[in-house]
Amino acid sequence: MGKGNCHANPRKRWRVCYRWNAMRIAWFSPLPPSRSGIAAYSAELLPRLEAHEIEAFVDDGEAHDGAGSTADIGRVTVRSAHDFPWRHARRPYDAVVYHVGNDRCHDYMWPYLVRYPGLVVLHDAQLHQARAQGLIRQHREADFKAEFRYCHPDVSPLLADLVIAGLGGTLCYFWPMVRIPVESARMVAVHNAYLARELSEEFPGKRIRPIHLGVPDPLASAMAPGGDVRRRHGIPDGAVVFGSFGRVTPEKGLSAVVQALAQVAAALPSIRLLIVGEVPSYFDLMAEARQWGVADRVIETGYVDDAALPEYLSAVDVSLNLRWPTGRETSAAWVRCLAAGKPTIITDLVHLTDVPSLDLRSMTVACTAGGAQEPVCVHVELVDGAHMLRLALRRLTEDAELRERLGRAARRYWEAQGTVDVMARDYEAVLAEARTAADPIPPAPWPAHLTADGSSTARALLAEIGVPYPLDQPGFDAGSATRPGRCGAPPAPRPIAGDA
């Protein structure tokens, strides 16, 4: 007994084939120099998948260095998305990967992901705002309404009008509009197990797989000491610095942090708040700090490029990674802080309940993963946010030993779950599965504009001069000209009306 002696051979043969079976992959994702987090994510991941032949397709406006250029992302060739249909028709890809999120930088993928089913990596489980804005910006209100009705057939379609009238606000979070990308995909990958379970319940029968979110090791290269940053920004020796990283937005809860800081500042003279990232003009955090009398404790650095980020990471003692509202995304910035061995403060979100986190009210570890767990961060509940934030600031300022312990556990957690290697392994598995998965059959007819062939303008122009549309002529074989002959036989690469 022991060591793999229990199996018949077919499986072993497969294992050998699997390892050497490289794929030709089309990769739809924003890429640097786009400042999107997913651009950085792809740039970090793609070099680890270089066993495969990968071509990245970006928005035409972002196709840096021109079509066919090779960016600094391993052997990956970067092309304009407009080149995808003919390249696919000429030599089909084994798998098409779409990185979909709630941001306009993903708008360009929609025409393709419905036409060419592939692996959809859903970074946000909430696409309503981006999709609505994308369509309304193009004056395609009717298409937005049709998609809303399709995604949420059980709610009043008048809600779409509410959004068109600009009254959506956070209501949008109730209706995430993910049905189309999920149903159009051969399979879906998400970055947390809760979301995978939630989507599996909502879309029974769909292949929905959780994959780890990985970031590179910030300690791999000698991390610059944070002392220079502290001196540069006038932070006194011995100060305990709480840091926030990334563009300052209301979702990061910094207004609440400033208020909490004001309430504990008198008792904690050493506490400082370092805001590392671009501050938009509409969000005057310093004005709030002045209003609360803690302007001398708050330091804004402005935009900091990626190269300088480790130095700033090194300069902080605790990282603030609050998020609300959320599209159930897993924050790469947070994982990066874990990797750097920093104690972090996170919002207590449902999809993060499997992360061992410390409840400072009871000093107990909250975790759904079972068993006694070592906490890797501190959580702040949404309904008791102000109180828990004050507790967190106070405790983490005063308790250096706790900071140390959380930092060590954070690093171990990252080593087990958050490295790029772990993520790349997961990708290998889902790519192999997506390669052979069948194209989906939508359970209900798509909204018409998603399947329109895009010829309406051409037809109208030709009709004006009395010329029939050529593809309507008997004997014209559109399929032979455009249909790719790939495994799984996807539909002809015709753009969607108004989208392509």
Which residues of the shown chain bind other proteins in the complex (CB under 8 A)?
A: 1-12, 14-16, 18, 165-167, 169-171, 173-174, 194, 204-205, 324-325, 348-350, 353, 366-373, 381-384, 429, 432-433, 435-439, 441-443, 488-489, 491
CB 325 within 8 A of CB 341: no
Closer residue to other proteins (CB): 79 or 191: 191
Question: Kind of pairing, strands 271-276 and 344-347?
Answer: unpaired
Closer residue to other proteins (CB): 16 or 222: 16
Closer residue to other proteins (CB): 41 or 427: 427
Closer residue to other proteins (CB): 107 or 453: 453
Report the distance separating Cα 213 and Cα 407, nearest Å: 19
Report the phi/psi class of residue 129: left, alpha or beta, with left for phi > 0 and alpha for psi in -120 to 50.
alpha
Report the distance separating Cα 307 and Cα 315, nearest Å: 14
Closer residue to other proteins (CB): 2 or 475: 2
What secondary structure letter does DSSP report for 500? -
Full DSSP string of 376-429: -EEEE-STTHHHHHHHHHHHHHH-HHHHHHHHHHHHHHHHHH-BHHHHHHHHHH
**Which residue, among 179, 247, 182, 180, has the nearest Cα to 209 in the 3D structure?**
182
Minimum distance, C-beta of residue 440 to other proteins, in the bound complex (Å): 9
Minimum distance, C-beta of residue 2 to other proteins, in the bound complex (Å): 3
Taken in order 52, 58, 62, 67, the sign of the CA dihedral is positive
Minimum distance, C-beta of residue 382 to other proteins, in the bound complex (Å): 4
- Rounded to 5 degrees, φ, ψ at 380 are -125, 120
Minimum distance, C-beta of residue 158 to other proteins, in the bound complex (Å): 9
Minimum distance, C-beta of residue 194 to other proteins, in the bound complex (Å): 8
Minimum distance, C-beta of residue 259 to other proteins, in the bound complex (Å): 16
Report the distance separating Cα 349 and Cα 322, nearest Å: 10
CB 241 within 8 A of CB 247: no
Closer residue to other proteins (CB): 5 or 473: 5
Closer residue to other proteins (CB): 83 or 453: 453
Residue listed under structure tokens 């990471």: 313
Please list, in sequence order, all residues whose beta carbon lies within 8 angstroms of the beta carbon of residue 77, skipping any fewer than 6 positions away: 54, 55, 56, 68, 69, 70
CB 59 within 8 A of CB 81: yes
Minimum distance, C-beta of residue 305 to other proteins, in the bound complex (Å): 33
Closer residue to other proteins (CB): 38 or 95: 95
Report the distance separating Cα 97 and Cα 435, nearest Å: 10
What secondary structure letter does DSSP report for 362? T
Closer residue to other proteins (CB): 80 or 353: 353
Minimum distance, C-beta of residue 277 to other proteins, in the bound complex (Å): 24
Minimum distance, C-beta of residue 229 to other proteins, in the bound complex (Å): 33
